[in-house]
Amino acid sequence: MSSENYKEKTTTQGERSLNFLEELIENDLKAGKYTSIVTRFPPEPNGYLHLGHASSICLNFGLTEKYPGYTNLRFDDTNPTTEETEYVESIKADIQWLGFSWKHERYASDYFEQLYNFAIQLIEADLAYVDDSTAEEIATLKGTPTEAGKNSPYRSRSIEENKDLFLRMKNGEFPDGSRTVRAKIDMAHTNMLMRDPVLYRIKHAHHHRTADAWCIYPMYDFAHGQSDSIEKVTHSLCTMEFVPHRELYDWLIQKLNIYPSHQYEFARRNINYTVTSKRKLLQLVNEKFVSGWDDPRMPTISGLRRRGFTPKSIRVFCEKIGIGKRDNMVDLGLLEFCLREDLNKTALRRMVVFDPVKLVITNYDKAVEMLQSENNPEDENSGTRDIPFSHELLIERNDFMEEPPKKYFRLAPGKMVRLKSAYII
């Protein structure tokens, strides 16, 4: 779709106003910066998706439904010790159940060779080095927000030595944690994340896709922006905690001279009485407090599905809570309201008696009569169903009293009531 056609999808009078990301995209399209957009949903396959992910899914996929472009599903599988194929399959199933389709299915591991070459490119430009410091030493030398850090004693290694050590890291010559590759930026930078951040670490662990082909893995900050660039993502959407990371995101893209993807941040929407930390949810699963990730008590998408929530109710909920730049607490009751609204329009009506009392109609002579009842009064196309009616019926015990109080409008001696889809008795 060309940039001239996208206007057909913008808001019209009477619709909700644009959020700040929609305004940004519309301005980019109008200015000719892009003719179409590319977003991505990048989950780490180390757990099942939950309500918080649903908001990001609806945002990324929703924008490319509204504007010309597409969304990639990219698995951020850079930590082999926590990721499993089970989680990959569950994530794909949940996104499809919500009603979205991705253009390309990608994995950060697809780019391991390219990311390795990017790191060599930085080393050759004297913008990265191999550091033998331990994690504790790196943290100590980093300084504080009010105090500059100190250079690593290995920062001045030659380019050739760094290249040799990095190759040997790749070949598996060193144990876990013995060496890292760090960007060479500024240990006095006001942004702590710019103080020579770690780009690569050694992990001798089996990877769910690449098996044992690699024993060095890129850090999130190195894999994230470069994967965006490889896929030519135009709008890389993250939550607000990644605001400090944007400077490093831009620095790496600039120094590598690759496609300039851009990161934009939006606020989380926390839900009251709801735990969405994957670490805590995993603890509930591992310690058998719940039957699994899809236990109906869990705030996971698969748990909500088992509890009876519909895809539309979750999508409408995400639309109602909106997108902003400040963290906000959302009432869980809003999600339940969205479900009631959806079910009210779509659910077929059925009657059930939990605590039955026999009712005998003495002046009804027919054996059995079939009466018609609406399947859904909110949907004229839902049709009707036949209900058998006879002189013996079962009613709810709470719907009858022998000695009722005033203003009791159910069945009692001397009182008349209408039976649902039937007669007045």
CA dist., res. 335 & res. 144, Å (int): 42
Which burial class, exposed, middle or buried, applies to 59 when counting CB atoms under 10 A from its CB (0-12, 13-18, 19+)? buried
Place of tokens 């001239």: 4
**Is there a contact between 342 and 313 (Cβ–Cβ < 8 Å)?**
yes
**Is there a contact between 417 and 424 (Cβ–Cβ < 8 Å)?**
yes
CA dist., res. 2 & res. 300, Å (int): 38
Residues linked to residue 270 through DSSP beta bridges, in sequence order: 329
Place of tokens 């070949």: 171
Phi, psi of 381 (to 5 degrees): -90, 0
Sign of CA pseudo-dihedral 393, 395, 401, 406:
negative
Q: Which of 268, 269, 305, 315 is catalytic?
A: 268
Tokens representing 383? 């049709």
Sign of CA pseudo-dihedral 220, 226, 231, 233:
positive
CA distances, 326 to each of 17, 160, 322, 420 (Å): 18, 47, 11, 49
Chain centre distance of CA 157: 42
Q: Which of 182, 195, 269, 278 is catalytic?
A: 278
> Active site includes 268?
yes
> Active site includes 278?
yes
- Identify the DSSP state of 19: P
Tokens representing 208? 């769910």
CA dist., res. 299 & res. 274, Å (int): 7
Q: Which of 44, 65, 374, 396 is catalytic?
A: 44
**Is there a contact between 120 and 163 (Cβ–Cβ < 8 Å)?**
yes
Q: What are the residue numbers of the active site?
A: 44, 268, 278
